[in-house]
Structure 1
Amino acid sequence: MPSQQDAAMVRTTFARVRRAVAGAAVGLCLLAACTEPGAGSIRMATGSTGGTYFPLGGEIAQLWTDHIPNVSVSTQASGASVENLRLLDQGENQLIMATNGTAAGAVEGEDIFATEPLDNPDDIVMLGNIYPEVLQIVASKESGIDSVEDLRGKRVEIGPPGSGTAVTSEHVLEAHGMSTADITAFDSTFEDAARKLGDGQVDAAMSVLAVPASSITQVATNNDVRMVRIDQAGLDKLTKDRPSYTDITIPARTYPAQQEPVRAVSNWATLYTTRDFDERTAYQLVKQLYERSGQIGHDVGAQIERDKAIDSQGPFELHPGAERYYREVGLLD
C-alpha cells in the first residue's frame, strides 16, 4: 500500500500534468489558429452569484472571448478566494479571482492554509489587479452597533466558507482583540446574509465587495441600517500586522441614508494563474483587460486601472506574459 507521502506526490504530479496539458492546448491553438470546437477553452473560478466576482468575471470572460482569437473563457461560480486557490492548485481551473491577502496567506502557509496547505503554492503567479475590495460592515440600527468592538456578543454574518470575506472578517476581529468566539457567527452567502439582516435574523453582516455593492444598496433601501466603522487603533494594528490591507474611506451617501464617510479596509481583487499557463495567452489576457476595461458594463469596470495592476504584489512573481506587457507600457523597467 502506498504511503501518504507517495500518494501526495502522485496528486502533485497529476495536478501539474493537468495544468501543463491545459496550458499547452491553449498555446497550440493560438499558434496554429485552430478552429475545432472547444479549442483554447479556459475556465476561470469567480465567486458566489450574490457577490461581485461572479457577474464581473462573466463580463471579463466575454471580453476576452470576443477579442482574443481562438480563446474561449468560461466562468465557474465558487466559494471565492480560498476555494479558488485550491481549484487552481489542483489544476481544476486555469484562472482564478482572489483577494491578494488571502492569496498571500495561501503561498505562505498562513491562516486556514496553515493546517490545510496547498500542494504547489510556488506554482501560483500573478496576472494583475482588478479592483479594490472593501470590507463593508452593515448593522441594523436597532442593534446599537457603531464600531467593530460593538460586534461582541452579537449575531454576525462573516462570509461564506472558502471566501476572502471569511478570512478578512477574522483578521479584522483579531486586530480589535476579538475572534469568532466572541460573536455568534453565521456563514451565509452574500444574498442570504443581506436577507437575514433585513429580516432581523442577524445583527450585522461583514462582506468584502466592490463599492458600491448591490446587495448592500438593496438592504439599505428597504431597511433601517447603518455602516459600521473600523476604529483607527484597529486599522493601525491590522495594516501593520498584515501589509496587504490598506486604509480606505467609503464616501458619504454611497448607500441610502449614509450621511457620513466610513473608515474601512481594502484588499485587491487579483487575477492569478500558474507558471505553466501559456505565455502568449497571458500577455493577451492582461492587454485586453486593461486596454478595454471601459467596455465592461459592471460598475466596477471603472475601477480597473492599468497603473494599479501590480500594486501590493506581495510574495508573487508575475507571469512572464503579464510581465512582458507591463514592461511594454512602462510599469516595469
Structure 2
Amino acid sequence: MKKKRFLLSTVLMLVLSLVLAACGANNDEGNGAEDSGDSGAEKPKFISIVTGGTGGTYYPLGGSFASIISDATGIETNAETSGASAENMTTLKAGDAEIAFSQTDIASYAKDGKLMFEGNAVDNVQAIGTLYPETIQIVTTAKSGITSVEDLKGKKVSVGAPGSGTAANAEQILEVHGLSFDDIEKQDLSFDESTAGIQDGTIDAAFVTAGTPTGAVEALSATEEIVIVPIAAEKIAELLEAYPYYVEDEVPAGTYGLTDKVATVAVQAMLVVKSDLSEEVVYDVTKAIFENLDKVTHAKGKLISAENAVNGVGIDIHPGAQKYYDEKGIKAE
C-alpha cells in the first residue's frame, strides 16, 4: 500500500514538474517577443503628417501619402496644413506630429542649429528620403514691369509664410544680387495669400518655393499673364558656390502659359520623421509610399522614386527607411 502511495506521489510530482517547465517556456517566449527590438514595439494608432499651405505642393502630396499609409499599414494617417518647412521641423521637435515635409536646406539648418534655428537645434528628427526638386519661383505679372531680380528693389514682395523655408531662399537670392530685405517692402504671406495679393494689386511679386506646377500660381495664371523672373546664369553659379544645397533648375515652357522656359534654382523636398518612431513602423511607412506611387495623383508623383530618395538628404536617414533601401540595394550616388 505504501509502495502504491509512493508511486502515485512520484507520478504527481513528475506531472507537476512538466507543467511548470511548460509554463516557464511559454513565459520565456513571451518575454522574448517583448524584448525583440521593434517587433515588440507598440504600433501607433495614429500618425500626423504636417505639410504646407493648401496652395502649395506639400499639402496635396501629403494627402496622397496619408491615404497610402493608412491603407497599407492600418495606421490612421492624416495630412495637416502648416507654415511648411521651418515650422514643420519645430512641430516635430515639440512632438506634435510624427512625419513632416521639409526642404533639404531647412532640415539641415534645423539639425545644425543654424540660421532660424540658432540656439534651438532640432535633434529628434531623421530622414525618410528626398522626393523632388523644390523650384524657387519669383512670381509676378506682365503688367508689373518686373523682369529681373534687381527690379524687385522698392517693390512689395512676399517672401513666404512665417516659419517657411521660402524666406531663407528669398534672402539668399537677393543677397547674390546685392540686395537684402531692407531693399524691398517685405510681406510674409502664404502662397495663396501671395497670389491673391498679386491679383488684387496689394503686392507686386512673390517668392514661391514649391514643385511646379504650383496650385496657387496655376490659379493666378487663369486670370493674369504670369511672369516668372529668371535668375541669370552667373548669379546661379554664385548662389551654388555660396550655398551647395541648391541645384540648377528651370520652369518649363508651357507652365502657367509661359512661352519659354525660365532659368532658376531649386532645393529638394524631403520627408522627415521623428527619430523615436520604431524601425518597424518607419520601414512600413517607407515601403508603403515608394511601392504605391502609382496612387499619387499630383504631377510631382512622377518625379519621386526610391532610387533617388537617398541622394542629397543632408541629415541621417532613419534606420527603418535605411532598412528598406538596403533591401532594394539602393545607395547614394
TM-score, structure 2 as length reference: 0.84
Partner of 1:306: 306
Give the residue type in structure 1 aligned to 2:271: L
Question: Hey, what's the Cα distance between the residues in 2 that align with 1:147 and 1:27?
Answer: 58
SS at match of 2:162: coil
Partner of 2:316: 317
Write out per-residue CA displacement over residues 265-286 of structure 1, whole angstroms, 9 at most, x where no aligned residue: 1111111113221101111111
8 Å contact from structure 2 (residues 148, 230) kept in 1: yes
8 Å contact from structure 1 (residues 133, 269) kept in 2: yes
8 Å contact from structure 1 (residues 131, 300) kept in 2: yes
1:129 CA displacement: 1.2
Unaligned runs of 5+ in 1: 1-23, 31-38
After alignment, is 258-267 or 170-179 more displaced?
170-179
After alignment, is 262-271 or 137-146 more displaced?
137-146
SS at match of 2:136: strand
Write out per-residue CA displacement over residues 108-143 of structure 1, whole angstroms, 9 at most, x where no aligned residue: 2222112x523xx33321111122211111112222
Partner of 2:195: 194
Partner of 1:112: 116
8 Å contact from structure 1 (residues 161, 187) kept in 2: yes
8 Å contact from structure 1 (residues 282, 322) kept in 2: yes
After alignment, is 195-204 or 121-130 more displaced?
121-130
Question: Hey, what's the Cα distance between the residues in 2 that align with 1:159 and 1:136?
Answer: 11
Question: Hey, what's the Cα distance between the residues in 2 that align with 1:324 and 1:26?
Answer: 14
Q: 1:97 is matched with which residue: 72, 79, 101?
A: 101
- 1:165 and 2:169 are equivalent in the alignment: no
Partner of 2:180: 179
Write out per-residue CA displacement over residues 185-206 of structure 1, whole angstroms, 9 at most, x where no aligned residue: 1111211111111112111111
8 Å contact from structure 1 (residues 130, 270) kept in 2: yes
8 Å contact from structure 1 (residues 26, 278) kept in 2: no
8 Å contact from structure 1 (residues 26, 41) kept in 2: no
Partner of 1:270: 270
Partner of 1:36: none
Question: Hey, what's the Cα distance between the residues in 1 that align with 2:308 and 2:51?
Answer: 21
- 1:235 and 2:236 are equivalent in the alignment: yes
Write out per-residue CA displacement over residues 223-260 of structure 1, whole angstroms, 9 at most, x where no aligned residue: 1331100112221121111111111111111121x111
Unaligned runs of 5+ in 2: 1-36
Give the residue type in structure 2 aligned to 1:165: T
Question: Hey, what's the Cα distance between the residues in 2 that align with 1:178 and 1:106?
Answer: 25
1:26 CA displacement: 11
8 Å contact from structure 2 (residues 252, 262) kept in 1: yes
List 4+ stretches of structure 1 deviating above 3 A.
Answer: 24-30
Mark the CA change 1:225 to 1:291 in structure 2 (over 3 Å): closer, same or farther.
Answer: same
Give the residue type in structure 1 aligned to 2:275: R
1:174 CA displacement: 1.6
Partner of 1:286: 286
Q: 1:52 is matched with which residue: 50, 53, 57?
A: 57
C-alpha RMSD over aligned residues: 1.9
SS at match of 1:247: strand
Partner of 1:5: none
Mark the CA change 1:103 to 1:26 in structure 2 (over 3 Å): closer, same or farther.
Answer: farther
Write out per-residue CA displacement over residues 291-331 of structure 1, whole angstroms, 9 at most, x where no aligned residue: 111111122221211221011122x1111111111111111
Write out per-residue CA displacement over residues 17-66 of structure 1, whole angstroms, 9 at most, x where no aligned residue: xxxxxxx9997444xxxxxxxx5211111111222111210110111000
- 1:82 and 2:83 are equivalent in the alignment: no
Pairwise mapping of residues 13-162 of structure 1 onto structure 2 (< 5 A)? 28-30=41-43, 40-69=45-74, 71-114=75-118, 116-118=119-121, 121-162=122-163
